[in-house]
């Protein structure tokens, strides 16, 4: 640690005081690191067993071209995902372009005109607003005659299942839950809380489909949402389950009938999941999944550390450094747009790619406010790699996530803090 702190000072001109505060934070986080390591072990066993039980072999790493008929690599990858998530079926495709796309296929495939969707965790993640059609966007759920209601979380950030039950009508077909807070200053949803909510809902309405937006949640706990009673989950491969190695893609996992309907939405009626060339996707997706428990563990440790470090520097953080994690996101309330920009400049200087770039706020497709992002990543936009982002709006919260290695997170934290303090050489 001493020698590394000296190097950081020499090479990046980080104040010694900051390195000392980080060292203190790290000592205090030791217990949480140990808990994380236990979860990593459990998830590593799960993933390894999934690969062995499905007879994973060299041949499965090869991809297909054209239609992709009979692509045994793709099919084995999907069986492995299904095993890991304890689901009947899974779609894991490079043709799923993002997490939003995976979720949109799940929603659009499983809702019909006249039916209704309820969000049980308040306003969903920004990019889903246009999928739902909050402003009646073309092709959205609303425009196709699907109604939408939402139930805000309680003041403590918990699911208000009583109010969800009040809102349910005979037209309610699907209730969705978002595990991660997204760009909201709220606690993420633990598997235990999710389980309780789903059990209560299903006790009265067993036929309602429970969908969980699992983005950023995979492998943070020892169990996943299907084990808590969810019917279908979706996520992105350039977040947790891709382990930093998947080059693109998304997944949907869950009940067989629901996955088939999502597949029809993804490709076309009559085609479903039978087509879709995997090109060179399989190796990265599989090796990435193998690495994911470890990589997510590094990110979770980094999140505990970031929370304690920035708390010691005087900023409100969410979750608190000692809190149980169920996603990899760390919110830091920086309190001004200037500090958001400085944080991102500093973090960018710690990235392996584009370290000389200067992040600027920008309006991105699917988002409503200007967003600032830092992340010089090997995979474009990957947020299992060390990255930070946040919409430029009061109270100016930045959301930090990822880190393929804890060592890298430490460098990122110091450079971000240094830049806020007045600049790096």
Ligand X SMILES: *Cc1c(COP(=O)(O)O)cnc(C)c1O
Please report, as ranges, the residues that interact with ligand X according to CB under 6 A. Answer: 98-100, 125, 127, 178, 180, 182, 213, 215-216, 236
The smaller minimum CB distance to ligand X, of residues 316 and 366, is found at 366
The smaller minimum CB distance to ligand X, of residues 213 and 231, is found at 213
Shortest Å distance, C-beta 226 to ligand X: 17
The smaller minimum CB distance to ligand X, of residues 125 and 281, is found at 125
Q: Give the chain as a 3 state SS string.
A: CHHHHHHHHHHHCCCHHHHHHHHHHHHHCHHHHHHHHHHHHHHHHHHHHHHHHCCCCHHHHCCCCCCCCCCHHHHHHHHHHHHHCCCCEEEEECCCCCHHHHHHHHHHHHCCCCCEEEECCCCCCHHHHHHHCCCCCCCCCHHHCCEEEECCCCCCCCCCHHHHHHHCCCCEEEEEEECCCCCCCCCCCCHHHHHHHHHHHHHHCCCCEEEEECCCCCCCCCCCHHHHCCCEEEEECCCHHHCCCCCCCEEEEECHHHHHHHHHHHCCCCCHHHCCCCCCHHHHHHHHHHHHHHHHHHHHHHHHHHHHHHHHCCCCEECCCCCCCCCCCEEEECCCHHHHHHHHHHHHHCCCCCCCCCCCCECCCCCCCCEEEECCCCCCCCCCCCEEEEECCCCCEEEEECCCCHHHHHHHHHHHHHHHHCCCC
The smaller minimum CB distance to ligand X, of residues 18 and 215, is found at 215
The smaller minimum CB distance to ligand X, of residues 61 and 118, is found at 118
Shortest Å distance, C-beta 233 to ligand X: 11
Shortest Å distance, C-beta 88 to ligand X: 23
Instruction: Give the length of the chain.
Output: 425
Shortest Å distance, C-beta 143 to ligand X: 20
Shortest Å distance, C-beta 351 to ligand X: 19
The smaller minimum CB distance to ligand X, of residues 83 and 219, is found at 219
Shortest Å distance, C-beta 24 to ligand X: 31
Instruction: Work out whether strand 330-333 and strand 317-318 pair parallel, antiparallel, or are unpaired.
Output: antiparallel
Q: Which residue is nearest to ligand X (CB)?
A: 99
The smaller minimum CB distance to ligand X, of residues 61 and 328, is found at 328
The smaller minimum CB distance to ligand X, of residues 335 and 366, is found at 366
Shortest Å distance, C-beta 250 to ligand X: 7
CB-CB contact of 216 with 180 (8 Å): yes
Shortest Å distance, C-beta 326 to ligand X: 12
Name the region of 210 (left: φ>0; alpha: ψ -120 to 50; beta: rest). Answer: beta
The smaller minimum CB distance to ligand X, of residues 99 and 402, is found at 99
Shortest Å distance, C-beta 270 to ligand X: 27
């Amino acid at each position: 640690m001493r020698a590394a702190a000296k190097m950081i000072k020499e090479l990046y001109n980080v104040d010694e005081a900051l390195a000392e505060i980080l060292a203190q934070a790290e000592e205090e986080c030791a217990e949480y690191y140990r808990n994380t390591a236990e979860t990593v072990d459990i998830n590593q066993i799960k993933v390894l067993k999934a690969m062995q039980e499905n007879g994973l072999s060299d041949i499965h790493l090869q991809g297909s071209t054209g239609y992709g008929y009979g692509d045994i690599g793709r099919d084995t990858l999907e069986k492995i995902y299904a095993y890991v998530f304890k689901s009947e079926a899974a779609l894991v495709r490079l043709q799923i372009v993002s997490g939003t796309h995976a979720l949109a296929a799940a929603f659009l495939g499983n809702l019909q005109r006249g039916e209704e969707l309820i969000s049980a965790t308040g306003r969903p993640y920004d990019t889903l607003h246009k999928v739902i059609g909050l402003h009646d966007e073309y092709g959205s759920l609303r425009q196709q005659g699907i109604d939408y209601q939402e139930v805000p979380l309680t003041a403590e950030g918990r699911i208000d299942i009583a109010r969800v039950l009040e809102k349910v009508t005979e037209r309610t077909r699907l209730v969705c839950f978002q595990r991660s807070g997204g760009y909201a200053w709220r606690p993420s949803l633990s598997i235990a809380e999710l389980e309780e909510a789903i059990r209560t809902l299903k006790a009265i309405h067993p036929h309602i489909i429970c969908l969980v937006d699992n983005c950023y949640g995979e492998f943070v706990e020892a169990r996943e949402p299907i084990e808590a009673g969810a019917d279908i989950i979706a996520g992105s491969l350039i977040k947790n389950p891709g382990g930093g190695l998947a080059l693109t893609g998304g997944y949907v996992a869950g009940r067989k009938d629901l996955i088939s309907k999502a597949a029809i939405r993804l490709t076309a009626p009559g085609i479903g999941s039978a087509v879709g060339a995997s090109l060179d996707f399989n190796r990265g997706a599989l090796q990435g999944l193998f690495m994911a428990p470890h990589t997510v563990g590094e990110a979770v440790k980094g999140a505990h550390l970031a929370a304690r470090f920035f708390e010691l520097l005087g900023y409100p953080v969410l979750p608190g450094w000692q809190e149980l994690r169920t996603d990899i996101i760390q919110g830091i309330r920086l309190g001004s747009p200037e500090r958001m920009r400085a944080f991102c400049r500093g973090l960018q200087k710690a990235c392996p790619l584009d370290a000389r770039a200067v992040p600027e706020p920008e309006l991105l497709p699917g988002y409503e406010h200007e967003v600032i992002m830092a992340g010089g990543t090997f995979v474009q936009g990957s947020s299992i790699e060390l990255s930070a982002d946040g919409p430029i709006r009061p109270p100016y919260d930045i959301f930090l996530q990822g880190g393929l290695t804890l060592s890298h997170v430490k460098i990122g934290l110091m450079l971000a803090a240094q830049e806020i303090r007045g600049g790096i050489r």
